[in-house]
Structure 1
């Protein structure tokens, strides 16, 4: 997987305990078009501290352009922002 670190727009739902469950996200491509990627499966959810910022790391799987792909999404607690970290 290659580090991308691009911000994304996320659609998710939360359960009664506040656990976030991502559904799909939008990302801007290099040619300025927008791609919507549906998250087929969340494999793991981990906590990490990167440069002093607490983050949740979601390892996910989706079908992108006809192929199964693994990738990582990160949620930063301090800014409440999502990013596509690795693809």
Structure 2
């Protein structure tokens, strides 16, 4: 979170928390404002673009989570994607 209260990173985590009914989440405040905060936002998203999934590990983790105790869509994948990944 920037010095002026803007979320710079973690938008997906916030949405997942909201979907799970969590009303408060921890944040890290960064002393960034204006152009520096915007540059951080772009860099954070760019780094995620360059990330590759280890699909075998993802498959194993999703299979471990598939106990019926949690909604697997909380992972950010929809059920069609989850079924494809687990298959």
Output the TM-score relative to the length of structure 2: 0.22
Between Structure 1 and Structure 2, which shows a larger proportion of strand residues? 1
Determine which structure has more spread, i.e. the larger CA radius of gyration.
2
Between Structure 1 and Structure 2, which shows a larger proportion of helix residues? 2
